[in-house]
Structure 1
Amino acid sequence: MSLLSNKCWIVVCISDTHQRHRQLTDRLKSTHSGDILIHGGDITNFGRGSKPFDDFDEWLSELPFRHKLIITGNHDSMLSPCLKHGRLLKDEQLLIDDYLRIYGAPWRPTGTSKWSDIPSNSHIVITHNPPCSQYGSHVDLELNLQIRLHQVRPLLSIFGHIHEDYGVWKQSREVLFANGASLPSSHSRALNDPLRFKISIDENSVPSIEPVI
């Protein structure tokens, strides 16, 4: 039996909070002591200066997660935030608990990113750019990212940007896609629920993923 068997992680995903992150506080604190919080970008509303990021960083310090992983979106591109209470991923892979490999890349204009740089051993890939749509939209889709994800076959592809595409779906048997956009639209008062997943390892060290309600 593998030493890693029976190991599991609870992964909680949000994105596109646009300075309304504190509206999610109660829902995030009521999770099952989540191991990993992932934010898929668009923390601000094209805000200048450090104030929006300072409040976001303080908010991160209040949340009960062992790991808090962040990427920047197109609304965050005017400033590269310095986070004390979260890990900002910039085209890099992070190893968690000597097993789980999570790759994160910030938003870039469509067609300019080198998605071939995504490591082939990644379990989770975080991008702000959407690789696909569950409703057939082609707006701002990164088809080269979609191609690379089907090559890498991570357990989970997390992204945001297209608020109306919030949800979880499979486009193939290999990859689970999750658009975690928290804000349904600029006029919405209520925010979408965080998306939750459980990643487990069996006795043969084979990982699996399932949504958690």
Structure 2
Amino acid sequence: MRIVLISDTHGLHDRVPQLPQGDILVHAGDFMNAGYDVREVVSFNRWLGEQPFAHRIVCGGNHDRLFENSPELARSLLSNGIYLEDSGTTIAGFSFWGSPYTPAFLYWAFMYPRGEAANAHWDRIPDALDVLVTHGPPYGILDQTASDGPHLGCEELLKEVRQKPPKVHVFGHIHGGAGIHSEGNTLFVNAAYLNESYKPFEPAGQIRVIDL
């Protein structure tokens, strides 16, 4: 099973180069930019439908405000993807679980105060997952805007991932942390397409391909 991973396109999905071939496309959130305009979802949904994958999995992010403020409307517009929000799905025997929530920062969507409040989301992560999709990173793993910057990931998410290690944990949110890291039996992927200046990384926007 080949999975293509991407995150943080922020409304620039039509500028993404042709994606690598695969069976499942996973987008880990922030596909919108301002986050309120339904046309952003309509455009993203059209783009999703144009991608030649048998399945497309989508998790929200802090910019995807319509999915928090008008969830029924937003979800109805995302007809070309399986939307995960503290929920999971199984495809061809492979398990996926996704959540858009991240630690509080300014006044965006899907946020919680740092500390025990995070466990309302992370306690729900199932055991023996193949792919965990969260918008934000765990603390200390691919979670810096620059190599000398502070770690911005979630401490509680890190604890949960270490207790219930998935085969793959894909996220974005912290654009400068884009890359891959292995720890134990888990492959961590920050799949942010845009850098901290909201311009595509090179080459090919750090689009990642993994085989399960």
Please classify the TM superposition score into its range, dividing by the shorter chain length: 0.7 to 0.9
Match of 1:85 among 69, 80, 87: 80
Preserved CA contact (<8 Å) 2:192 2:206:
no
1:5 — aligned with what?
A: none
Select which of 98, 105, 119 maps to 1:104: 98
Give the match's secondary structure for 1:157.
Answer: strand
**Residue 2 (structure 2) pairs with residue 10 (structure 1):** yes
Paired residue total: 185
Do residues 186 (structure 1) and 197 (structure 2) align? yes
Conserved in 2, the CA contact under 8 Å of 1:150 and 1:174?
A: no
Whether 2:164 is the aligned partner of 1:152: answer yes
User: 2: distance between equivalents of 1:167 and 1:189?
Assistant: 13
Which digits, 9 at most, give the CA deviation of each residue in 1:114-172, with x for residues without a partner?
A: 211100121110001211334575443111111111111111000011000000012x2
Indicate how the Cα distance of structure 1 residues 187 and 85 shifts in structure 2: closer, same or farther if over 3 A, else same. Answer: closer
Unmatched segments (≥5 aa) in structure 1: 1-8, 200-213
* Distance in 1 of aligned mates of 2:30 and 2:132: 17
Instruction: Percent identity, please.
Output: 31
Alignment of 1:190-209 (within 5 A): 192-199=205-212
The equivalent of 1:65 in structure 2 is 53
Larger radius of gyration: 1
Distance of 1:123 and 1:161 partners within structure 2 = 21
Instruction: Give the equivalent residue in structure 2 for 1:176.
Output: 187
Q: Is the 8 A contact 1:105 1:127 kept in 2?
A: yes
Cα RMSD between the aligned structures? 1.8
Q: Deviations over 1:53-80 (max 9, x none)?
A: 0000011110001110001100112434
Correspondence 1:27 to 2:18: yes
Distance, in Å, in 2 between the alignment partners of 1:93 and 1:187 is 29
- Kindly state the Cα deviation for residue 174 of structure 1 after the two structures are TM-superposed: 2.0
CA shift, 1:27, in A, is: 2.3
TM-score normalised over the length of structure 2: 0.81
Q: Residue 131 in 1 paired to residue 122 in 2?
A: no
Structure having the higher helix fraction is 2
Change (3 A) 1:154 1:36: same
Is 1:118–2:125 an aligned residue pair?
yes
> d(CA) in 1 for partners of 2:136 and 2:150?
12
- The answer to which of 69-78 and 180-189 deviates more is 180-189
